[in-house]
A and B are shown apart, each in its own frame.
Chain A
Amino acid sequence: MKKILVVDDETVALLRMKKILGSEYAISLLKNGKDALDYIMDIGVPDLVIMDIEMPQMNGLDCVRSLREKKIQVPVLFMTGIEDEDIKNQCRIFGNSVYVVKPGMPADIMEKVKSLLLAEE
């Protein structure tokens, strides 16, 4: 089973993701970007990361930037509050990443996850 790491400061959002994707993938839930970095460094790189952008301690974009600096090219699905030019640019810069406007339709999320994982193979 493919492993997906979900990072969001909002518990409800985390649980929701688990609900949507849990039947098909192995889901790990974390509450902040720092923990996510530690997790990836210490435990291992998942097959996909779902990253909330607007988080208090560490912004989701900064987190992924940090990963990319470490040459970790894991596919990322960003959860964003607003759809603007900035996010589109970032996705392009990071590579291997797309975004969904929160909360996002389950079908849409599922589709994007599938396509990201497929692209990896």
Chain B
Amino acid sequence: MGKLFTKLKSYIRITTWAYVVFVLLIIALLYIVGTSRVENASISVGTVRDFNDNWFMKYEEKEYRVDFPFLGSSKAEEQVEYYRTLEKEDGGKTIAFLTEDKRIRILVEDTEIYSFAMNNQYKIGKAPGDTVVFATLPADCEGKALRILTSSPYDNFATTMAAITIGDLGSQEISYLKMKSQDVAIDILIFIECLAFLALGVVNLSNRKNVPGTISFGFTLFMISVLGIIETKIPVILFGNPFFMSNVAYITMMMFPLFLECYYFKITRRFLIFRYCVFACSLCNVLLQTLLQLLNIVDYQQMGIYSQMLILIAIISGFSSSIIEIAQGKRMGRFSVIFTSSAFFLGGGLDLIRLQTVIIGDFAIYTRIAAASSGFIYFISAMVQLYTQEMNLVKENLETAQAASIAKDQFLATMSHEIRTPINGILGMNEMILKDSKEPVILEYASDIKRAGTSLLTLVNEILDVSKVRSGGLTIEEKEYETFLLFYDSLHTTKMRCVDKGLQFITNIDENLPNKLLGDDQRIRQIIVNLLTNAIKYTEKGSVTFTCHSEPRTENTVFLVIEIQDTGYGIEKTHQHKIFEAFYRMENKNTDRIEGTGLGLSLVQSLVKMMNGYIEVESTPGEGSTFRVFIPQEVIDESALGDFEARCKSYVNEEETVENIRFAKGQRILVVDDEPLNLKVVQGYLRDSNLELVLAGGGKEAIAYAKEQTFDLIILDHRMPEPDGIQVFQEIIQFLPADLPIIMMSANASDQAKEDYLHMGFTDYLSKPTKEKELQALLKEYLQVSEEVVEKTEIKEKPEDALFIEKIRKETTIDVDTGLSFNMEDASFYKTMLLDVFTPDRAEELSGYFQRQDLGNYQIKIHSLKSLLKTVGALELSKEAADLENACKNKDTDYLDLNHDGFVLQFIKMCKVIERSQA
């Protein structure tokens, strides 16, 4: 059975059948139109009056007086005659009346003026059909008899006569049209709705949207409008040929269940098998009826009842399946189906009832209204469905996008923490190396590590910042800051990078800059460092100039104007606005070797904007670029900054020495962090501090220690697996003395976070990554410092050594500060280093290898010389050595030939100066 159905299904391609039938109908209609004649409708104004009285009926040898409309009984095929005497004024007028299913012959005396269905032309089947009769009387008819002869293949129809009117032909036609105007209007409306549905269906098909049933319903409406138009019998006035017309009405009714089923198929899947049966029946109905009609066995008209039954069954099944589906919760579109089905049901039912009571007249009033209204409702419903689908799609997309965005932010936050922790560990350990080691080469390596690690950290922070900006999470935190510190911090590190590359670093900081400003100095630092890094990256030779001055703005604010100029590759005009886009990197032959993410400038621009400033760029390709940033800042302390360089020098001497604070013996502190590296760092910092350190790797361990031992201070990391810092805190304060200092250590550096921690009850706050100075300052505050005299771990400087160093600083291009920083700030040690490095022997050895073309040994020698030169701060020479080393690696003998002697010359000159300065 199943197989049969699937086979059946594949043959009954519902919609295709509907389309086929529809096309056939169109062809039929066109045929009718083509073979008809068009009446000349003369439109003249006149009167139309009743013509219903003074009639006589001749039937079965008897004569009767009758008035119209008249309902009598008669037998099939019996001839009936009605006659009336005409007056003078009747001449030339037209009589009009509706007739149903009888043959008509109208004569004046013996002259026939009208006949209908008398000869069976164009007829299919034996039903004469319905029509409206317009018969024009001859001009001269006074006193003559008007005779109407009828006969019908059916009982009683011959003696069923409608009201007759008489008037000018034009007036009759107009009057008839007027009578039918309402129906016509509704039919036209239904037709328009049909077109709308078809259009909607076609458009949706191409858009892949779907409101099911639009096209099927469109066809259904088409059928109804066709039926309606035909039913008005107006085509008779326009086209004549009534036979086919009335049969087409029945044909339409025959097709109706097919289309209705198509529509229901699209709407609901319930009662599928039943549906298929009904559809099959409808199809059989069509074929059978047509067959019977063509063979003249039975008329369409007589089989109409079966079509009506099928329509009824279809409506009921569609209606009930929709009800069930609504009960199941599938609301979409079902209500309109209910409405449509109900409307058709009611309309059809009322019309059927009306059919019984009115013999001749309008047979489809209610069906029309039902069709028009349900078409309207369904169309609205379809639009609502489409709209809802659209909105759901939009909502879905929005939700997906939002979820993705949240996921991304969470991911970034987690990842950044996960990435930053080991990086901070590396940098922390590296600080240990820098602190403990005395070997210059190791120090140099450690210095490189510090640089790489710091830039990695900066990169991670940059990525996080950019994403924060994009999601609106980045805030500008304003606080008072000293302009000197701002510049010192941001220039100190970048200057080294600049000189390393062999570029000149020039600073032009206006003396009259205000000492203290209000703003987010961290972010300004970020801006400056970013722009300087870019300048250095994109410049191969020449210089990078940092200029800063202030311009007055309002009473207590100024514009901080920062200008960074380089002599690098420059930026083409067309690229100048693009460079601020995230991830945009200029691509030309010069720049693809340069590393970087392309995020820096985007971040800078966002930050500047958020501070209500603006940024501009000027650039000439091949000559260099200038970036200028204007940031409005409130002035806190107007007094002048002073000579920046001078202040730098004195500051260096103060700040670079880190004291090793010794605390009073017997103090014990607990440090809790789940990251072993971080614990090691703290341990390293406090190695010589006299403090007893207890380290805990997790919350539970910490709580246990806190219970068992007594501590003088506790430091808790926030982010740990359960229990985290906060939870540990809440646990331990329950049994620890209230005056025990408990410090929170966290990477969360905002002012708000600090406030929150203090609010919670923490004594103080330490930011991560932990800086030695900060840790010591904090501990100094809460613990007892040792009474012993604190020995300065610096070796006492011999004054002549300091003098020597100053001479070197003045007379050579050696960066003495860098040299000192590599040598423990120890002037005497540094001097020894200088003397050791700058011996002519080294140059001789190198030249020897060069003359002998011993590239191998030359490379080794120049490599070690490079490091040594860097260690003593001879950065330019070191860079030249690096270039020579590279040339060795690349076997670029030409480069060596051209530059070896120049290098040796510089080196020897330096040796001479150093020798001289000793004296």
Residues of chain B within 8 A (CB-CB) of A5 are 901
A58 interfacial contact with B, CB 8 Å: no
The reply to whether A39 and B905 contact each other, CB–CB distance below 8 Å, is: yes
The reply to whether B901 and A30 contact each other, CB–CB distance below 8 Å, is: yes
> Number of B residues whose C-beta is below 8 Å from A?
12
The reply to whether A43 and B902 contact each other, CB–CB distance below 8 Å, is: no
In the complex, which residues 865-919 of chain B have their Cβ closer than 8 Å to any Cβ of chain A? 894, 897-898, 900-902, 904-905, 908-909, 912
Indicate whether A35 sits within 8 Å of B905 (C-beta atoms), given known contacts A1-B851, A42-B912. yes
Say which residue of B851, B897, B898, B909 sits within 8 Å of A42 (CB atoms): B909
Residues of chain A within 8 A (CB-CB) of B898 are 11, 14-15, 29, 31
The reply to whether B902 and A31 contact each other, CB–CB distance below 8 Å, is: yes
Say which residue of A1, A14, A18, A43 sits within 8 Å of B905 (CB atoms): A43
The reply to whether A14 and B851 contact each other, CB–CB distance below 8 Å, is: no
Say which residue of A29, A35, A38, A43 sits within 8 Å of B897 (CB atoms): A29
A28 interfacial contact with B, CB 8 Å: yes
- Among residues of B, the one whose C-beta sits closest to the C-beta of A11 is B898
Shortest Cβ distance from residue A9 to the other chain B in the assembled complex, whole angstroms: 11
A72 interfacial contact with B, CB 8 Å: no
A110 interfacial contact with B, CB 8 Å: no
Residues of chain A within 8 A (CB-CB) of B909 are 38, 42
- C-alpha gap A107/B901 in the complex (Å): 26
- C-alpha gap A88/B908 in the complex (Å): 35
- C-alpha gap A53/B898 in the complex (Å): 18
The reply to whether B908 and A42 contact each other, CB–CB distance below 8 Å, is: yes
A26 interfacial contact with B, CB 8 Å: yes
The reply to whether A43 and B894 contact each other, CB–CB distance below 8 Å, is: no
Instruction: Mark A35-51 against chain B: 1 for CB-CB distance below 8 A, else 0.
Output: 10011001100000000
Max chain A C-beta neighbours (<10 A), residue from B904, B905, B912:
B905
Residues of chain A within 8 A (CB-CB) of B894 are 11, 15
Instruction: Mark A90-110 against chain B: 1 for CB-CB distance below 8 A, else 0.
Output: 000000000000000000000
In the complex, which residues 197-255 of chain B have their Cβ closer than 8 Å to any Cβ of chain A? none
- C-alpha gap A31/B900 in the complex (Å): 11
- C-alpha gap A15/B904 in the complex (Å): 18
- C-alpha gap A43/B909 in the complex (Å): 9
Residues of chain B within 8 A (CB-CB) of A30 are 901-902, 905
Residues of chain A within 8 A (CB-CB) of B901 are 5, 28-30, 39
The reply to whether B851 and A43 contact each other, CB–CB distance below 8 Å, is: no
Shortest Cβ distance from residue A37 to the other chain B in the assembled complex, whole angstroms: 10
Shortest Cβ distance from residue A18 to the other chain B in the assembled complex, whole angstroms: 5
- C-alpha gap A27/B894 in the complex (Å): 13
The reply to whether A18 and B897 contact each other, CB–CB distance below 8 Å, is: yes
Secondary structure at the B interface, as helix, strand, loop or mixed, is: helix
- Among residues of B, the one whose C-beta sits closest to the C-beta of A26 is B851
Residues of chain A within 8 A (CB-CB) of B902 are 30-31, 35
Shortest Cβ distance from residue B177 to the other chain A in the assembled complex, whole angstroms: 105
Residues of chain B within 8 A (CB-CB) of A35 are 902, 905
Shortest Cβ distance from residue B915 to the other chain A in the assembled complex, whole angstroms: 11
- C-alpha gap A38/B904 in the complex (Å): 11
- C-alpha gap A18/B909 in the complex (Å): 24
Residues of chain B within 8 A (CB-CB) of A18 are 897
Shortest Cβ distance from residue B853 to the other chain A in the assembled complex, whole angstroms: 9
Residues of chain A within 8 A (CB-CB) of B908 are 42-43
- C-alpha gap A26/B900 in the complex (Å): 13
The reply to whether A14 and B904 contact each other, CB–CB distance below 8 Å, is: no
- Among residues of A, the one whose C-beta sits closest to the C-beta of B894 is A15
- C-alpha gap A1/B904 in the complex (Å): 19
- C-alpha gap A43/B894 in the complex (Å): 22
Residues of chain B within 8 A (CB-CB) of A27 are 897
- C-alpha gap A28/B904 in the complex (Å): 10
Shortest Cβ distance from residue B916 to the other chain A in the assembled complex, whole angstroms: 12
Shortest Cβ distance from residue B592 to the other chain A in the assembled complex, whole angstroms: 26
Instruction: Mark B80-98 against chain A: 1 for CB-CB distance below 8 A, else 0.
Output: 0000000000000000000
Shortest Cβ distance from residue B909 to the other chain A in the assembled complex, whole angstroms: 6
- C-alpha gap A11/B899 in the complex (Å): 10
- Among residues of A, the one whose C-beta sits closest to the C-beta of B896 is A29
- C-alpha gap A34/B912 in the complex (Å): 17
- Among residues of B, the one whose C-beta sits closest to the C-beta of A30 is B901
- C-alpha gap A1/B901 in the complex (Å): 17
Residues of chain B within 8 A (CB-CB) of A29 are 897-898, 900-901
Residues of chain A within 8 A (CB-CB) of B912 are 42
- C-alpha gap A28/B847 in the complex (Å): 10
Residues of chain B within 8 A (CB-CB) of A43 are 904-905, 908
- C-alpha gap A46/B900 in the complex (Å): 16
Shortest Cβ distance from residue B917 to the other chain A in the assembled complex, whole angstroms: 16
- C-alpha gap A1/B908 in the complex (Å): 22
- C-alpha gap A1/B847 in the complex (Å): 14
Instruction: Mark B134-161 against chain A: 1 for CB-CB distance below 8 A, else 0.
Output: 0000000000000000000000000000
Residues of chain B within 8 A (CB-CB) of A38 are 905, 909
- Among residues of B, the one whose C-beta sits closest to the C-beta of A1 is B851
Max chain A C-beta neighbours (<10 A), residue from B851, B894, B901, B904:
B901
Residues of chain B within 8 A (CB-CB) of A14 are 897-898
In the complex, which residues 4-25 of chain A have their Cβ closer than 8 Å to any Cβ of chain B? 5, 11, 14-15, 18
Shortest Cβ distance from residue A42 to the other chain B in the assembled complex, whole angstroms: 5
- C-alpha gap A15/B902 in the complex (Å): 14
Residues of chain B within 8 A (CB-CB) of A42 are 905, 908-909, 912
- C-alpha gap A22/B900 in the complex (Å): 15
Residues of chain B within 8 A (CB-CB) of A26 are 851
Residues of chain A within 8 A (CB-CB) of B897 are 14-15, 18, 27, 29
Residues of chain A within 8 A (CB-CB) of B904 are 43
- C-alpha gap A19/B908 in the complex (Å): 26
Instruction: Mark A76-120 against chain B: 1 for CB-CB distance below 8 A, else 0.
Output: 000000000000000000000000000000000000000000000
- C-alpha gap A1/B900 in the complex (Å): 18
- C-alpha gap A39/B851 in the complex (Å): 17
Shortest Cβ distance from residue A55 to the other chain B in the assembled complex, whole angstroms: 15
Shortest Cβ distance from residue A5 to the other chain B in the assembled complex, whole angstroms: 8
- C-alpha gap A15/B912 in the complex (Å): 29
Max chain A C-beta neighbours (<10 A), residue from B897, B902, B912:
B897
- C-alpha gap A93/B902 in the complex (Å): 29
Residues of chain B within 8 A (CB-CB) of A28 are 900-901
- C-alpha gap A15/B899 in the complex (Å): 11
Shortest Cβ distance from residue B403 to the other chain A in the assembled complex, whole angstroms: 62
Max chain B C-beta neighbours (<10 A), residue from A5, A14, A28, A35:
A28
- C-alpha gap A31/B902 in the complex (Å): 8
- C-alpha gap A31/B899 in the complex (Å): 9
Shortest Cβ distance from residue B911 to the other chain A in the assembled complex, whole angstroms: 9
Shortest Cβ distance from residue B852 to the other chain A in the assembled complex, whole angstroms: 10
Shortest Cβ distance from residue A24 to the other chain B in the assembled complex, whole angstroms: 13
- Among residues of A, the one whose C-beta sits closest to the C-beta of B901 is A28
- C-alpha gap A105/B85 in the complex (Å): 144
- C-alpha gap A11/B898 in the complex (Å): 7
Residues of chain A within 8 A (CB-CB) of B900 are 28-29
- C-alpha gap A31/B908 in the complex (Å): 17
- C-alpha gap A39/B898 in the complex (Å): 14
Shortest Cβ distance from residue B892 to the other chain A in the assembled complex, whole angstroms: 11
- Among residues of A, the one whose C-beta sits closest to the C-beta of B912 is A42
Shortest Cβ distance from residue A19 to the other chain B in the assembled complex, whole angstroms: 9
Shortest Cβ distance from residue B595 to the other chain A in the assembled complex, whole angstroms: 29
- C-alpha gap A104/B851 in the complex (Å): 25
Interface pairs A-B: 10 shortest CB-CB:
A28-B901, A42-B908, A26-B851, A39-B905, A18-B897, A15-B894, A11-B898, A29-B897, A30-B901, A29-B901
Selected A-B contacts with CB under 8 Å, 21 pairs? A1-B851, A5-B901, A14-B897, A14-B898, A15-B897, A27-B897, A28-B900, A28-B901, A29-B897, A29-B898, A29-B900, A31-B902, A35-B902, A38-B905, A38-B909, A39-B905, A42-B905, A42-B909, A42-B912, A43-B905, A43-B908
A14-B898, A31-B902 given. 20 additional CB < 8 A pairs? A1-B851, A11-B898, A14-B897, A15-B894, A18-B897, A26-B851, A27-B897, A28-B900, A28-B901, A29-B897, A29-B898, A29-B901, A31-B898, A35-B902, A35-B905, A39-B905, A42-B908, A42-B909, A43-B905, A43-B908
